[in-house]
Amino acid sequence: MAEVETLNMIQALNSALDLFMEREERAYVLGEDVGFFGGVFRVTEGLQKKYGARRVFDTPLAEAGIVGMALGMGLAGLVPVAEIQFADFVYPAFDQIVSELAKYRYRSGAQYTPRVVLRMPCGGGIRGGHYHSQSPEALFIHTPGLRVLMPSGPFEAKGLLLGALAGPDPVIFLEPKKLYRAIKAEVPKGWYTLPLDKAAVLRHGQDATLVAYGAMAPAALEAARLAEEEGYDIEVIDLLCLMPFDLKTLVHSVEKTGRLVVVHEAPRTCGFGAELVAAVQEKAFARLEAPPRRVTGFDTPFPYTLEDHYLPGPERILHALIETLEY
Amino acid sequence: MKRNIQFREALSSALADEMTADPSVFVFGLDVPDHKRIFGSTAGLLEKFGPERVFDTPLSEDAMTGAALGAALAGLRPVHVHIRVDFALLGMNQIINMISNLRYMTGGQIGKLPIVIRAVIGRGWGQSAQHSKSLQGMFAHFPGLKVVMPSSPQDAYSLLRASIRDDNPVIFLEHRWLYDVVGEVDDAHAVPLGLANVRRHGKDITLVCTSWMNVEAHKAADLLARRGVEAEIVDVRSIAPLDAATILKSVRRTGRCIVADYDWSFCGFAAELAAQIHHGCFKELKAPVERVGFAHTPCPTTRPLENLFYPSAKTLVRAAERLLGLDEMDLSQEKFYTYEVNFKGPF
């Protein structure tokens, strides 16, 4: 049995970065405030002190430059881990990500395969207002050429980040900041990786399939518990890997339950929930006993005062579950 | 007045008519006044309205999108043109973090933000991965933006006028092969934003299409008609806000649906349509909603790969046959991609 320690998600991510920096001398960490300050959320704390300001360095407030630089480093054979301080700030780097980073392997016939991991805190739940709460995962999932991951706890965070760092692909690593310090869990002290295309079944059930990821995974679990009080047996799936995502596990579950509810924080229209529903109805059309439902953020900018209403919570998820179950 | 004109002239006419009607309207962007005039869609404007209202810009999309925002805040009605939607990605922060939510963020104190961002999309000659995107799904994911995709000269004319008159930011996406399409344009015929259009009536299957896919769908419907299949074509036209009612009404009647979106299907607008249609027509659907769109790869350069990457009338026929449980008809003598021959560039 591997040695374990009890960590929150920030500490688990920090541990992954530390292990990787130690093992891989070509690894670099860059971003706004990641060096001297250790990151606004402290994910990179201590790394500059340990590995020096050459390998762990602060950048100007220029996201297009951060991603462009990371891409250049990747092309030169280094393994950069760049932090976008908040996912909301990623848009200045959009061209670099969508038109350059995501395309390099394909455009060069795999002559250039930049290994770049972009970490970015995402989502609401910390009273951050519109510019510190967004969930832009659908844009990256929609863009061919990127892996997109979102952990839901410390164990998943470390295993997925190490998996991403060890792999050959550009990765968008989204960290639900609401969970950063909210959950502590036992995490192996050493190196381990989680597969980059597997969902986790958090709870087995027969009556309906509830799919969530990131900060919505704990909310989904709570909704399943509430549904149990009403006499329903809900299966909860935490996707973890959004692109590619584990359609097989999802379809397998829906073939058993016949009912599906998907949950995410981002606005509904053209969100990832649309893909999940569209894909499941393609694969399990005849088995569906009710139309799948989406519980999501609303189609508005992220509100500051109405945050608790905007974010799907256990009550809203339960409501959708009951509607689906009673269809 | 009714005229038979090309799509490109419909656009330049709409711009000229709005600029004549409202002195606060101006048009700017890379290559807007150059000799090609954005495939002819800004032809004649410089001569008629002068360089103060029709002008070129530096190659700096972020700053120029910011300039459009500033102009709109100062009471003007800018039309910013991108000769490739891909280049709008450089202005994404202005579009998403500033423009799309400013009315909301100010609690309505900024009561209107009339900006039109025109952008050219789609296939040309070997455009590869950085000059061929469509991106309507990305824009439609952001509350506060309207997204419009005309597919006929009349819609190009009427929807561009409606977009310029709208007090919200509008993303206006034009497929470059459509510029050659000729059709009747009645300048008295208004088309409001937010309405889909049934372009062809049929009872057996609904093809829900965006932009160029309407052209492919008409060809597919002709082919299907030969074997007695009547396809209905619904042109979405307004991606956001979406006229779901018209689409659902059609699918409830036909019971079968192909969503043909001119973009990557995966996690895009096609997925949104499929999810809404499945939800809204759950009891009427006889088969899953099928998506036809780009393969989930960057856009390739060579023609054989492009022909696999982009959906065509043939893709639609085959999808319809699958949904209807029919054998594949012989298409070996059919010509596809005819518009590629018509396309004169420049790019």
Residue in B9, B61, B174, B272 annotated catalytic: B61
Q: Kindly determine whether residue A301 and residue B267, on different chains, have CB atoms separated by under 8 Å.
A: no
A39 vs A32: CA distance, rounded Å: 7
Q: Environment class of residue A60 by beta-carbon count within 10 Å: exposed (0-12), middle (13-18) or buried (19+)? A: exposed
pLDDT score for B344: 63
Instruction: Give the pLDDT score at A177.
Output: 97
- Tokens 């990256």 -> residue: A140
CATH architecture designation of domain B2-186: 3-Layer(aba) Sandwich (3.40)
Catalytic position from the list B80, B82, B131, B218: B131
- State the nearest Cα–Cα gap between B297 and chain A, in angstroms: 5
- Interface probe, candidates B262, B267, B289, B323, chain A, greatest A C-beta count within 10 A: B267
Is B92 close to A271, i.e. CB distance below 8 A?
A: no
The residue type of A53 is A
- Which of B97, B100, B93 is CA-nearest to residue B60? B93
Nearest Cα to Cα of residue B149 among B181, B195, B88, B186: B195
- pLDDT by 10s per residue, chain A, length 327: 589 999 999 999 999 999 999 999 999 999 999 999 999 999 999 999 999 999 999 999 999 999 999 999 999 999 999 999 999 999 999 999 999 999 999 999 999 999 999 999 999 999 999 899 999 999 999 999 999 999 999 999 999 999 999 999 999 999 999 999 999 999 999 999 999 999 999 999 999 999 999 999 999 999 999 999 999 999 999 999 999 999 999 999 999 999 999 999 999 999 999 999 999 999 999 999 999 999 999 999 999 999 999 999 999 999 999 999 999
Q: Which of B101, B108, B26 is nearest to B68 (CA)?
A: B26
Q: Which pair of tokens denotes residue A35?
A: 């060096």
pTM of the model: 0.96
Q: How far apart are the first and last CA of chain A?
A: 47
Q: Which amino acid is at A102?
A: A
Query: In order along chain B (347 residues), what is the average pLDDT of each group of 10 residues?
Result: 97 98 98 93 98 96 97 98 94 96 92 96 85 93 97 98 98 95 97 98 98 96 97 98 98 98 97 98 98 94 89 96 97 77 61
Catalytic residue among A132, A204, A252, A309: A132
pLDDT at B340: 62
Contact A175, A119 (CB under 8 A): yes
Give the closest-approach CA distance of A185 to chain B in angstroms: 32
Residue A11 DSSP SS3: helix
Q: Decide the pairing of beta strands A117-122 and A56-58.
A: unpaired
Q: Where do the CATH 3.40.50.920 domains begin and end in chain B? A: 197-341
Count interface pairs A-B at CB distance under 8 A.
140
Q: Using CB atoms, which residue from A88, A266, A282 is nearest to B97?
A: A88
Contact between chains at B266 and A275 (C-beta distance less than 8 A): yes
Closest-CA distance of chain A to residue B18, Å: 30
Tell me, yes or no, if A142 is annotated catalytic: no
What DSSP letter does each residue of A226-247 carry, written as one string? HHHHTT--EEEEE--EEES--H
**CATH 3.40.50.920 given to domain B197-341:** yes
Note whether B128 contacts A301, CB cutoff 8 Å: no
DSSP A152-174: SSHHHHHHHHHHHHHSSS-EEEE
User: Per CATH, which fold does A4-188 belong to?
Assistant: Rossmann fold (3.40.50)
Instruction: Report yes or no: B128 and B299 within 8 Å, Cβ to Cβ.
Output: yes
Roughly what angle, to the nearest 10 degrees, separates helices B269-280 and A272-283?
60
Strand partners, A94: none
Domain with CATH 3.40.50.970 in chain B: 2-186
What are the residue boundaries of the structural domains of chain A, listed by start? 4-188, 200-325
- Which residues in chain B touch residue A304, judged by CB atoms under 8 angstroms apart? none
- Comparing alpha-carbon positions, the chain B residue that sits nearest to A139 is B138
CB–CB contact A270 B269 (8 Å): yes
Distance of CA B273 to the CA centre of its chain: 15
What single DSSP character describes residue B13?
Answer: H
Angle (CA) B113-B155-A269 rounded to 5° is 55
Contacts of A285 in chain B (CB under 8 A): 285, 287-288
Tokens coding A24: 């891989």
Say if A4-188 and A200-325 have the same CATH topology.
yes
CATH class entry, domain A200-325: alpha beta
Amino acid B341: pLDDT: 64
Tokens of B217: 């769908």
- Option in B129, B138, B266 nearest A106 (CB): B129
Inter-chain residue contact A301 with B290, CB threshold 8 Å = no
Q: Which two tokens stand for residue B11?
A: 């656009």
pLDDT score, position B119: 97
